[in-house]
Chains A and B, each alone.
Chain A
Amino acid sequence: MSLWEYANPVKFIRTTDKVLPWIWALTGICLLTGLVWGFFFTPDDFRQGSTVKIIYIHVPSALMAINAWLMMLVASLVWIVRRHHVSALAARAAAPVGAVMTMIALATGAFWGQPMWGTWWAWDPRLTSFLILFLFYLGYMALWEAIENDDTAADLTSILCLVGSVFAILSRYAVNFWNQGLHQGATLSLDKEENISDVFWFPLLVCIAGFVLLFIALVFLRTQTEIRARRTRALLAREGQA
């Protein structure tokens, strides 16, 4: 039993079909408890008031925006090295989800920034690098759409993903250098003294779990769709020949 068995599309679809309902159910439970708990059963922050509750969407989506790109990077590497089609399709499937997560993080950040910093947008390093990340997602998806041959598209986008990752990291540190930020530092680290209070921490943890599960479910579903769409196309092409 090895992980590579799931490179077989049939096996992948069969397994994900079995797991997906459970993942969806868990996602629903986590998001529902996390959000309800966070929105209605946590106290207001003594300085930020009720705006602090934006954290339950903002932080998980920002986290997933970065992790989605990481997942695409791994999937691209797997495609380049082992040429498993499922992996390339999974990378393709993850891109729009990641882009939406980035947008949610940017939008909720703006809603949060307006009352707290007095501005919707600031050229803060974190905000800026998220905007750049969003551009990377857009370019990646556009390249997938633009190329007709599936394998060529998979090859080109995976190389773009590799190069883009290097440049995304470069940009992250470059913008740090360029402007000092308004955004607070990390307060969710596991090893720091100055962390967010437990009252907010536990519902946030549930929300993060919910977002991770949501991401997994969406990527599985979208990958299945891609596989089926490609199979349909192949069938149609064969019919056309006959």
Chain B
Amino acid sequence: MKALLIRDLMLAIRAGGGFGLGLAFFLIVTVLVPFGVGPQTELLSRIAPGILWIGALLACLLSLDRILALDWEDGSLDLLATAPLPMEGIVSIKALAHWITTGLPLVLAAPVLGVLLSLPVPAYQWVVISLAVGTPALSVIGTFGAALTVGLKRGGLLMSLLVLPLYVPTLIFGAEVARRGAEGLTVQTPLLLLAGISFGVIALLPFASAAVLRINLR
């Protein structure tokens, strides 16, 4: 499993696009928002937590089809399937690799971009914490979507359609944590719910992803 993780990370770094793509997209979205809504600081700081969350979500979505598509095309997914590793383990590792290459950089970049959006000071820690807690859920749910559409030629659009409604609860609670943090309210309830969703999907969804992947490899 460790070997697979290292291999995926190496591929993501060396093939380019892994780290860069999601991060660049995140940057572009957050930089474009002030052009769209105007430069008033009050407005920006009010919507900043939400924008950061939406940017992170879209950046995550953008890089989903890289999780499995490349391995599917060159046949290494078939090899992995016949390896002594359980399929659940494979999809979990894939999700973890996706989180390390996409989710983690987003978490680290969020405070920097927060400056651009004049994020209120108390919100910084909560944006980072909520993203850190929530992005693993995005990766795991995204892996499920990628596994569903892996066999399709033009699965990208379909995958977005399938994954976006699944992202709704995570987005709601994540953005709520960030918003309450920005307004100085107590964040405990949404944060716990967000963590609950994260742990829940990490624990259960790999089974669904693995089942789906097995069907697709049949």
A residues engaging B (CB < 8 A)? 132, 135-136, 138-139, 142-143, 146-147, 152, 155-156, 159-160, 162-164, 167-168, 170-171, 174-175, 177-178
Contacts and interface: CB of A to CB of B under 8 A. Distances in A.
Interface size on B, as a range, is 20 to 34
A156 B217 CA distance: 12
A174 B169 contact: yes
A143 B166 contact: no
Nearest to A140: B162
Given A147-B152, A152-B215, A159-B211, A135 B169 contact: no
Nearest to A131: B165
A159 B208 contact: yes
A171 B162 contact: no
Contact of B176 (A136, A164, A178): A178
Task: State the main secondary structure of chain A at its contact with B.
Answer: helix
Given A142-B158, A174-B173, A178-B176, A156 B148 contact: yes
B212 interface: yes
Contacts of B176: 177-178
Interface in B161-177: 161-162, 164-166, 168-169, 172-173, 176
Contacts, number: 72
A138 B190 CA distance: 29
Nearest to B148: A156
Contacts of B216: 152, 156
Given A136-B165, A177-B173, 6 more contacts: A132-B165, A135-B161, A143-B158, A152-B216, A156-B148, A167-B169
A97 B168 CA distance: 24
Contact of A139 (B155, B165, B205): B165
Interface of B: 144, 148-149, 151-152, 155, 158, 161-162, 164-166, 168-169, 172-173, 176, 190, 193, 197, 205, 208, 211-212, 215-216, 218
19 contacts: A132-B165, A138-B161, A139-B165, A142-B158, A143-B149, A147-B151, A152-B151, A152-B215, A156-B148, A159-B208, A160-B148, A163-B208, A167-B165, A167-B169, A170-B169, A171-B172, A174-B169, A174-B193, A175-B168
Contacts of B164: 135
A177 B166 contact: no
B172 A146 contact: no
Contacts of A159: 148, 208, 211-212, 215
B162 to A, nearest CB: 4
A150 to B, nearest CB: 12
Given A147-B151, A156-B215, A170-B197, A139 B172 contact: no
Contacts of A177: 172-173, 176, 190, 193
B166 A164 contact: yes
B147 to A, nearest CB: 9
